[in-house]
Structure 1
């Protein structure tokens, strides 16, 4: 059978949620995301190593701000990379696609939008409401 496309996932209305084809689709998507993040990290490393010091203080300040922004972005990507790796382990263990809180299916459309989602929309909203209550 041919690999599923995004449109196949969006149009899916069968009963066999998280079948082998779904798992393969999401695993491929996560591996692609992981590869992009690793490529970005390597590009940043190269970019930072090839920069030369500039004598102009304004130019130096601009460069330092750009570096800081780039490093913050890579830090967010590093955290996402850890989440991707954790999610790939869930696929291998057969736990992917189900809410950590309720055990209910997360849903193909939500996973398509956010392949690393570990909570259903309802559980995520509940957690955010609880967090907001304690923050107030």
Structure 2
């Protein structure tokens, strides 16, 4: 299978060829497995609170639990995105911006394999979100 270094060095004409798609498919499967494992581990740790008699220890544990819940929420939201990315590979749509149709780019996909938008479109979306939020 092609390596990350090879994929980064490949010419633009190789973009999302069968080797690259196989690379990203495996990357997404690995991401799914590691995300699922982190979710299960977090749930396991949260399900068995330690015996805490000291108020400071309890407050610290509750704060850590709150952080764990936020992380767990993010991880759980990632799983459907991984499945959507795998479906886009199956359909031959992976690696292309959902809005513009332009290539998302190998470096961006390596950093974020579930990326749905090219950097320009994503930046515009974030600017709009910030404008409407303020």
TM-score, normalization by structure 1 = 0.90
1:13 aligns with 2:6: no
Stretches of structure 1 that go unaligned for 5 or more consecutive residues are none
Q: Hey, what does 2:105 align to over in structure 1?
A: 107
**Alpha-carbon spacing, 1:88–1:61, altered in 2? closer, same or farther (3 Å):** same
Q: Hey, what does 1:39 align to over in structure 2?
A: 37
Q: How does 1:87-98 map to 2 (within 5 A)?
A: 87-98=85-96
**Alpha-carbon spacing, 1:98–1:65, altered in 2? closer, same or farther (3 Å):** same
Displacement over 4 Å in runs of 4+? none
Alpha-carbon distance, 1:45 to partner: 2.1
Q: Hey, what does 1:22 align to over in structure 2?
A: 20
* 3-state SS, counterpart of residue 15 of structure 1: helix
Cα distance in 1, alignment partners of residues 40 and 72 from structure 2: 10
**Alpha-carbon spacing, 1:48–1:132, altered in 2? closer, same or farther (3 Å):** closer
Cα RMSD (Å) of the superposition? Answer: 1.4
**Count of equivalent residues:** 134
1:71 aligns with 2:69: yes
- Contact 1:9-1:109 at 8 Å conserved across structures: no
Stretches of structure 2 that go unaligned for 5 or more consecutive residues are none
Alpha-carbon distance, 1:128 to partner: 2.0
**Alpha-carbon spacing, 1:51–1:99, altered in 2? closer, same or farther (3 Å):** same
Q: Which moved more, 1:69-78 or 1:40-49?
A: 40-49
Alpha-carbon distance, 1:14 to partner: 4.4
